[in-house]
Every structure is written in C-alpha cells, then in structure tokens.
Chains A and B, each alone.
Chain A
Amino acid sequence: MAEDIVRVENLKAYYQMNYFGVRREVRAVDGITMTVRKGEVYGIAGESSSGKTSFIKVLAAAIRPPLRVVEGSVKFDFKNGPIDVATATPKQIEAVRWKHLSYIMQGSMSVLNPVRRIGKTFHDFASRPMGLTGKAFEDRVIAHLARLKLPADVLKAYPHELSGGMRQRVTIGLATVCHPEFIIADEPTTALDVVVQKEVLSLIRDIQKEMNAAVVFVTHDMSVHANVADRVGIIYAGRLVEEGPTRDMFFAPKHPYTAHLVASLPRIGDVKQRPALEGRPPNLADPPQGCRFHPRCPLAVDKCRQEVPPMEQVGPDHRTACWRWQDVKPLVGASAPSGVMA
C-alpha cells in the first residue's frame, strides 16, 4: 500500500464571528481524522454547507479569518520535508504552495482575476515556484496548456472571454503546471455541461496518473465520485461519517446517510420522486447531541441521541461512524422506497 501524503488528526476549524456584539461560532469542521495516500484520488462528498469547503480550505492551507483552526493537525509529507499546515507560518506555506500543494477553488472565476489576462495570472502564480522566467517560462506554460487542449492564445485573453469549460481547464492548468504532489479541487466541474464535465474529469485523472500526484476532490455530485475517486469520504455536519473504497460506498454503504445519498440520485427516465430525506441539515452553530444525523435518521435509537458514535473499522479500508452500521442496507437502484429509507 502506498505511503500517506497527508495525515489529518482530530481537526477542528470554526468560524468565530462577532455580529454586532453577539459572538457566534460555526463549527464547520468538528473533529475530522483521515489520511490521503500518495497517488490516489480521494473524493469528499456531502450536502451543501456540511463543511466540505471549510475542511478543504484548511487542507489547502488557505485559512482566513473568521475561519480558525482550534484543534488538531494536518501533517503533509512533501519531498522538501514535512509540514503541519494547521500551524505553519505564512512563509512556510509559501514554500510549498503550487509546487507541492495546489488548490482549485470553488468557482473558477475566483482565482482568475477578471481584469488580468490569463498569461499574467500564470506568471503571478507559477513563475517563481518553477524558477523560470521570460521565454523559457512561457514555452513551458504553452506546452502544458496544449496538453489541456488549450491554444496558446488563451494567455492573451481575459477570463470573461472564455467559455466556462475553457476557464475550468485554465484553472486546472494553473493548478498542475508546477507538477505538485498534492492537488485539491473544490467542485471543479459543477456548472459545466455533461460532455465537458466528462472531458475535464478524465483530464484531471490523466494528469494525476502521469504526475503520480494525490488528488482530493470535493463535490456534492455522487455520480462524479463514482467515476473518479479511488476512495470516498462522506462529511455530514462537519464530521467524517463514513469512508471506504468507491465500490463499497456505492454498493455496500455502512452509514444510513451514505445509503440515502447514493439512492437519491435522480436518473433520466424518472417520472416520480425518489425517496427523500426528511428534515434539514443541522445548524452548525448549535449541532444536535450524540450522532448529528439522528434527527433525520430512520434507524435512530436512544443511544444515538446521547452518544457520539466512534469511527469503526468495518472492512478493508472501510470505516463508519454509526451505532447500527450492521443494520444498514444498500438502496442502490431502488425505484420504490424500501429498506432503511422506507
């Protein structure tokens, strides 16, 4: 088995704010422990506002107030040495940014400065880490863009002049041009058409294989994970609730929430609704006691309302945090409500 490239240990990161004198704390990441191995694609799934982006910001060492790491560590093992990005100084982070650790943020427009030509943005980000300037730098960038099927002319364009798919390929180009060891991508294909989505996904996979980089891939879209990830982790209300090899997560989930996520995917041809989860995601400023999923869980028992279920090993590479994991039945392909979600 490949070595770990990052070990996340009991990570807690909260948004701590002051609204007109009232202190608020949103516990967006609340005790996540996981590892990512060299050369693997690790998919992170979960519903909106479950804490995916917040977790990924810490992993990517892009922590800005009001978000603060309050506990835990994120230890990378890079070629240029180990680093804990939860406690590293800006200078130490600067030394690994782009060359070892790169981050494709949610919304491709946000990394691309609207009033700066693409070529300038490449220069800003990559020239220094690559140790190249002038013609040598430009040639390398153009060769890299060509692999992404982008013409050299995009370097002269402004972001709004490119289509959504082109912009997304440009951001992937930015994130990969320095051949980093670890790539983090937050919803990189959301809002692309399905043809381009597939193209962009296979591009990410190809580049990842070629460079033997590790990729952490975040999206709420389970069908993307099904086709890209080696392993999938599910976040619910700021916590990792299940993690396992992609196949097992889809065909033998061991957490009721995962079973629901997998079964709720609408398919072409559906003329009636799939079983939906009742209730709403918990408020992270005041999360429920015990298992955070209990108010919506069809299997919940008294114990769930009081005690937090620990992460338990339930198979090779497969962990889950549920008191009743042995009673969880897969619901894949269920056209009528059945099993645990009945």
Chain B
Amino acid sequence: MTTLLDVRDVSKRFTMGGIFGRKTVDAVMDANFSLSAENPEIFTIIGESGSGKTTLARMILGLEDPSEGEILFRGKRVSRHGGRAEKLAFMSQVQPVFQNPFEAFNPLKKIERYLESTARRFLQTRDKAVIDRAMDEALQKVGLSLKEVRGRFPHEMSGGQLQRCAIARALIPNPPLLIADEPVSMVDASLRMSIVNLLKSLRDDLKVSVIYITHDLATAYYISNRLIIMQRGRIVEMGDARTVLDNPQHPYSKLLKASVLSTDDAGDGKLATDPGMVKAAGDLVGQAGKLVARPDGREVRVYG
C-alpha cells in the first residue's frame, strides 16, 4: 500500500511563561499512525479536553511543527516553513473544516465570498465562469448548489447548511484529506447526523479520507473505520472503531464510555461516575507505558 499520511513518533512540547512559573506542556507525545492512499477512511480522534487532538491536527495541517518526529504527506515532509507555491500545493491536498458554522462565517459577508476567495486562491484564476463552476461543483458535492447559496448571508441559512458550505469550501481544491476538528459539536442531534452522513458519503463516493475529531462517541461509532483515544498527550488505545467502543480496554477509554450521558433515567439527576474508574484512569496520567497489540487487532497502552 502507498501511504497518504504518515505520522511518525511525533511529539509537541509548548513552553510558556505564566501559570506555574516557566513550564513546558507536552501536548502530544509519541504519536504514530498512518493512513493509506488506496483505502480512504474516516479516522477518528477522541480524547480528553486538552489531550492534544487539535495540536495533532494543526501539525498535520502544517500550522505547527512537531518538536520531535515527522509527518509525511505522500512521502513529503510537512512543515510550517517552505515557499509559497509549495505551501499552496500542500494546502490544496489537506483542508481543514472548522468547528462552529456560525462563527466560521462573518454575519455581514455573503457566503459565496468565502467560496470565491478559496476558489480564486487555489485555481489561480480570476475568470468568473471558472470560479463559479468550481464553487457549484463543490456545493453539489455537499447537496447544495450555487443557485441556492448565491446572495445569501450566513443567518439566512440553517446551521446544517452553513456547515455544508464550510465543507464545500474545503472541497474546492479536491483534497484527498479533510481534517474536521469537532465539526458537529455545536449542532443539535439531527443536524449532527446529516453532517456525519455527508462525511460518510465523501469517503464512500468521492474517496476522500477524513480525520474526524470529536467528543461524540455515538457518531464516532457510526462512521469511523479506525479511531484513537487520547489522554494527556498520549494515544492510549487505537483500533477498529467498533471493536474499541463496544469493549474498551484501557482504563481511560472505559471511563470515557461510562461517562456518556444517558437519557434512560431522564429526570433522576444522576451524575455520579464510579470513583474507582476515575481513579484507575487518573493514576495512569504521566506514565509512559507502551502500546501493545491485542489479538483482535487493536493496540492498548500498558504500564509497568
């Protein structure tokens, strides 16, 4: 197989002068995984708030350089540095989708302006007909059309439509890889499903790979091929999404699944988590351990 993306022993350390005097934060430690070019997949990252998901995504997008290790895209090293043309070529291959559709768009600017500027940038043309065609093609892919969108302001569209527009914008250069950092966390359950189904059809029909970052275990279960679970900078479990979520093995993964709020006892005000589980997961923070393969194909971090 040829690899599309190769994340090799990647770590990221931030230094900051503030909170507890001078201090370093290991946002990501020793991340390893790769995506194949032939088999597009939805690769999901779940984890603690602050566990390094966004930092990992930013490194893959070339917005941040790893402190250690390297990230290869189609065999070429991803870097924050490099010439303009080289960067543009890379950006046309790996595109981000942002979290909140209502914040991603300026309320006073027509939506097509965003699409237009992206099209102009990647197609390197000012030809109106070419730009319109590219915009319409991208919008068609997400179930919209330029005709529907033209002339409209963000508040004149639903949250689902806006998020579709954000995804359409990312699709303009025909990238083989999308990085979607919590694309559904601000939207309600039914919109969430329509966005997630869209990601699924991008994978199945257009062969686009998606790195899907989320806190929502249910949609992760529903669309992912593989997933990783992160705790404080480290991947603690990785494998086939359903295998992992049906029966999580690492103490943090177990805690995560047990913390999902249920509606079965709605109105009873039950919010307690088994303190034993919380302790078991908390005790492992800071320990390196190592990822060990299990017979069912997943990898779990073990200690001592």
Contacts and interface: CB of A to CB of B under 8 A. Distances in A.
Contact of B261 (A154, A224, A277): A224
Interface residues of A, number: 66
Contacts of B108: 19
A250 B261 contact: no
Nearest to B47: A193
A153 B101 CA distance: 34
B199 to A, nearest CB: 13
A269 B245 CA distance: 8
B50 A198 contact: no
A205 B263 contact: no
B159 A47 contact: yes
Contacts of B47: 193
A274 interface: yes
A143 interface: no
Contacts of A222: 189, 263
A61 interface: no
Interface in A248-285: 248-251, 260-262, 264-271, 273-274, 276-277, 280-281, 283, 285
Given A191-B185, A193-B256, A195-B259, A250 B266 contact: yes
Contacts of B285: none
A336 interface: no
B215 A246 contact: no
B188 A47 contact: yes
B193 A228 contact: no
A280 B161 contact: yes
Nearest to B25: A161
A118 B216 CA distance: 30
B270 A164 contact: no
B158 interface: yes
B83 interface: no
Nearest to A260: B190
B50 A164 contact: yes
B49 A193 contact: yes
A153 B19 contact: yes
Interface stretch (B4-12, B218-226, B292-300): B218-226
B204 interface: no
A157 interface: yes
B271 A228 contact: yes
B189 A161 contact: no
B38 interface: no
Interface in B45-77: 46-51
Contacts of A194: 215, 217, 256, 259-261
Contacts of A268: 217-218, 221, 245, 257, 260
A55 to B, nearest CB: 16
Interface in A80-120: none
Given A276-B190, A285-B156, A161 B182 contact: no
B189 A266 contact: yes
A99 B239 CA distance: 50
B1 interface: no
Contacts of B161: 280
Given A192-B49, A246-B266, 14 more contacts: A187-B186, A191-B185, A196-B48, A197-B261, A202-B272, A205-B271, A220-B187, A226-B262, A262-B263, A265-B218, A266-B192, A266-B193, A270-B221, A277-B190
Interface of B: 16, 18-20, 46-51, 99, 101-102, 108, 153, 155-156, 158-161, 182, 185-194, 197, 215-219, 221-222, 245-246, 255-257, 259-263, 265-273, 278, 281
| Interface pairs A-B: 10 shortest CB-CB | A163-B50, A247-B267, A48-B159, A226-B266, A250-B266, A246-B267, A220-B188, A266-B218, A164-B49, A223-B261
